[in-house]
A and B are shown apart, each in its own frame.
Chain A
C-alpha cells in the first residue's frame, strides 16, 4: 500500500514538473500579443462582399478595414476627407455641377489592389455598376441605384456620377457607405463575374481591396485575420489584426480583463463588469447615431393581432394615444438603468451629432403622467383600459426598453397592459417579413446615417420606408405637409434654409409622433490601456473602429 502511494506520489510529481516546464510561457511583459490587435466582436459576418452586406451587419466592420471608398469620414469629426478621390467635390472646386446633378471625382494615382493590379476609374465605375446590377435585396444597393442615374469614366483617374435628382446628402450617405467600396474588377471577373440578383460566392468569402489591411483568412465562427498592407497609399497600419468572433459576452469581458483582447464590442450594460478593472479603459465619447425606438403600427391587418391584444386596429391612428405613450415612458429610468447613464434624450428625427440637430427643439425626456392621463382620457381609453403587445429581440437593450415601457404604462393605470414579446433575432425579422406587420408595436434601433435626410425619409415620410409599411398616412394630421417639408429639405443645398426646414419638421413631429424614442445611446467602448491612438467615430459602421489608427 505504501509502495502504491509512493508510486502515485512520484507520478504526480513528474506530471507536475512536466506541466510546469512545458506549459506555454505566459508573458509577464505589460503588452500581450505585441504587433497584433485582438478585437473581440459581437457578431459574425454573413458576407464580405460590399454589394451584399446589409447595413449594420458584422461584415461591414471588415469591409471598412480592407476596402477603400472615394471619400471617408474624418476620425475626429463628421467631416468628409479624401480617400481614393484626391479631394472632396464641392461646387466651388468644380466637383459638383451648379445644378447639383453631376459629381466629378479626381482619383489617386499609383494605388494598387492587394492582388497587385492597378486602380483606375474603371474600377470605380465597375464597383458601383456591379452593386446596382446585382441589386441584392439583403444588401444596400438601393442607396446607389435610388439616386445614381449613370456613371462615367472620364479618363483613367477621373470618375463622374450623374444623379437622377439633386440629393443633398449624396456624399455623406452614399459615397462613404460600404456598398460604394471599390473592389478589384480583375478579381471579380476572374471569380464569377457579375450576375443580376445572384450573390458572388467568391466575393462573399474573400476580399481584394486597396485598404490599409489585406484579408488573410476567415476561419468561420472562430476568427478573421487581417495583415498590414505594406503598399498602402496612405499611412501604413501598425498592427496586424485578429477579430475573434462571437461567443459569450461574459467571456469577452473576462478576455479584456485578462489582456487577451485589446478591444471588445460592448454596450452600456458592460460598464458594471469593467469599471475599475486593472489596465482597462472605458471609452465613453459621444453618442451613437442609432436612436433606440419603439414603433407604432398604423397599418394593422384586421384580426391579426396576437391573442390577448384588446386594442382596435386603428388604435394608434389617434395622435393623442401616441403622444400619451411618449409622455408616460420613464426616460430617466431607461437612461440610468439599462444604459447606465450613457446616452441622451433626443428625437431621432435629427440625432445629436449630425446636421440639422436643434438643441432647442422640443423633446420627450421626462415622464409626465398627468399629461399622459389627460390624453388617454381624451382618447376615450382610460376607463376601459387596453392590452397590447410589443415585439422585440431578446437579450438586449431593446427588450429592456420594452420592459421600462411596460412598467411605465401599467403603473399609470392598472387597466393598461403591455405584453413584451422578446424573441430571437431571426423570429423578429421573420415577423417583419409579414407585411403588413401583425403587431401593434415593435422595438429596435434606427440605422445610423450622417445626414438628417436619411432619417426623415426612412422613419418619418408618409411614403418612406416605414411610413408606407406602418401606414403613417393614416395618422398624420397633415401628411402632405410632412412629405412636402421632407422632400424640400432633401434637395435644399443652402444649409440655413435646410436647417430651417428641419426645425419646422421637428416641431410637427413632436406633436404628431410616430415613434417613442427611449434614448440616443451613448458610445461605450472598452479597450486595454496599452492601446495607443484609440478613436471611435459613430459614423463608421459599428463598432465604429478603424484598426489602422491603433498601435500598442
Chain B
C-alpha cells in the first residue's frame, strides 16, 4: 500500500473514531455526576435543582442531550463554562495556548536533553558516563512532579527569589497584544524583548519540571536503541570501511536508533499534556490542565467534556502522525498489508 493511500484510509476512519470518542466522553461524564454540579448547593430545594436542569436542557432524554451537544460542538458552541462564567469556546483557546506553550517548551527540553543523553550514554555503554546518565534518567522518571516542582519553587522562587511563578508579569503581559495566545510568539510579533524574556523566564521552572520526566523516558529509549544498533553488522561494516566513529554514530546508528525513539516521543507528547495538570497547579500556570482540574473538583461538566473530547481527538491525530513518521523513517514497516 502506498503511503498516500494509507494516510487517506486513516483519515477516512478518523471521523468515525471521533464520533465514537464523543459518545464515550458524553456517557462517562454523565455517569460521573450531575452535569450542573457547579451550580448545586447543599442548601438547594429539588425545585431549584430542577429549574437549573431545565435551563441546561437536562430534563430531556439523554440521546437528545447528546445530539444537542454534538450539534453545538460542530457549530463551535461547546457550552457554558460554569467555573469561568463564560462560553467554553471563549476561554478554551486561551487555556489551550498556555498549555501548548508549556508543553512545547517542555518537549524541547525533553527532546534535546533526551536524545543527547541517550546518545551520550549509548555510545559509552557500561562506562561511568552511562551509569551517571542512568541515575539522571531514573531520577527523572521517579521523582513525582508535584514534589520536584515544589522543591524547585522552594529553592528558586521562595528562597532565592530568582525565578517567578505564574505565566507572566501582569503588567508586561498587558503591554502587548496577544493575537496567537502564545506569549513567546506574541512577544516576538510585538517586537518586545521585555515581554519575550518575561515569557521565557516564567516558562523556565515549569518546563524543566515537566520536561525532566519526559527526558528520562526518551534518554533511556534512545540509549537502548543505540546500543542495539551499534551491535549490528552494518555498523561493523562501516567501521571496517574506515569511517570515523563520530560519523558511524551520527549518520548511521543514531538515525536508526531514532525510529523506536520517535514512537516514544509521540507518546511523550501525550505524557506532557497530561503532566501539565500537576505542573500547572503547582506553578499557577493558567492552562488547560489546571482549568480541567478545577472543573472536575467543582463539577463543571461543560468544561470537562470539551477538555476530554479535545485530548481524545488530539491523541488520535498524534497517533496517526507518529505512524506516518514511523513508516517514513523505516521503509520495512508494512502499511496495513
Contact = CB atoms under 8 A, between A and B. Distances in A.
B286 A258 contact: no
A46 B40 contact: no
Interface in A30-49: 44-48
A242 B166 CA distance: 13
Contacts of B146: 248
A24 B33 CA distance: 46
A426 B201 contact: no
Of B42, B95, B146, B153, the most chain A CB neighbours within 10 A belong to B42
Nearest to A223: B170
Nearest to B47: A137
A23 B162 contact: yes
Interface stretch (A85-93, A317-325, A427-435, A521-529): A427-435
Contact of A433 (B34, B84, B294): B34
A26 B297 contact: no
Contacts of A255: 158, 165
Nearest to B154: A254
A424 interface: yes
B288 to A, nearest CB: 10
Contact of A251 (B49, B197, B282, B298): B282
B41 interface: yes
A444 interface: yes
B75 interface: no
B43 interface: yes
A433 B46 contact: yes
Contacts of B170: 223, 225, 242
Contacts of B159: 258
Contacts of A251: 150, 153, 165, 282, 284
A257 B299 contact: no
29 contacts: A22-B197, A44-B294, A137-B44, A138-B39, A138-B41, A138-B52, A220-B286, A221-B290, A221-B291, A247-B284, A247-B290, A254-B150, A254-B153, A255-B158, A257-B158, A258-B161, A425-B297, A426-B37, A426-B40, A429-B41, A429-B299, A430-B40, A433-B34, A433-B44, A435-B49, A444-B42, A447-B43, A458-B43, A465-B43
A332 B25 CA distance: 47
Of A255, A258, A260, A429, the most chain B CB neighbours within 10 A belong to A429
A338 interface: no
Nearest to A261: B165
A458 B146 CA distance: 42
Interface of B: 33-34, 37-49, 51-52, 55, 81-86, 91, 94-95, 146, 150, 153-154, 157-159, 161-162, 164-167, 169-170, 197-198, 201, 281-282, 284, 286, 290-291, 294, 296-299
A197 B50 CA distance: 12
A198 interface: yes
Contacts, number: 151
A433 B49 contact: yes
Interface of A: 22-24, 26, 44-48, 54, 137-138, 197-198, 201, 204-205, 218-223, 225, 242, 244, 246-248, 250-251, 254-255, 257-258, 260, 424-433, 435, 442, 444, 447, 458, 465-466, 469
B154 A424 contact: no
A47 B38 CA distance: 11
Contacts of A48: 85
Of B40, B154, B157, the most chain A CB neighbours within 10 A belong to B40
Top 10 nearest A-B pairs (CB, nearest first) are: A426-B299, A426-B37, A137-B48, A432-B42, A222-B286, A429-B40, A220-B84, A258-B158, A204-B85, A254-B158
A220 B300 CA distance: 14
A221 B51 contact: no
Please classify the interface of chain A as helix (H, G, I), strand (E, B), loop, or mixed, using the class held by over half of its residues: mixed
B162 A26 contact: yes
A424 B304 CA distance: 15
Given A254-B158, A429-B42, 17 more contacts: A24-B164, A26-B162, A44-B83, A54-B41, A220-B86, A220-B286, A248-B281, A251-B153, A251-B165, A254-B154, A258-B159, A426-B37, A427-B299, A430-B34, A432-B40, A433-B49, A465-B43
A549 B230 CA distance: 71
Nearest to A394: B297
A246 B165 contact: no
Contacts of B38: 46, 426
B298 A426 contact: yes
Nearest to B52: A137
Nearest to A432: B42
A87 to B, nearest CB: 34
Contacts of B284: 222, 244, 246-247, 251
Given A424-B297, A424-B299, A222 B166 contact: yes
B135 to A, nearest CB: 21
A46 B162 contact: no
Given A138-B39, A250-B150, A465-B43, A430 B83 contact: no
Contact of B33 (A219, A220, A427, A466): A427
Given A254-B157, A433-B34, A221 B165 contact: no
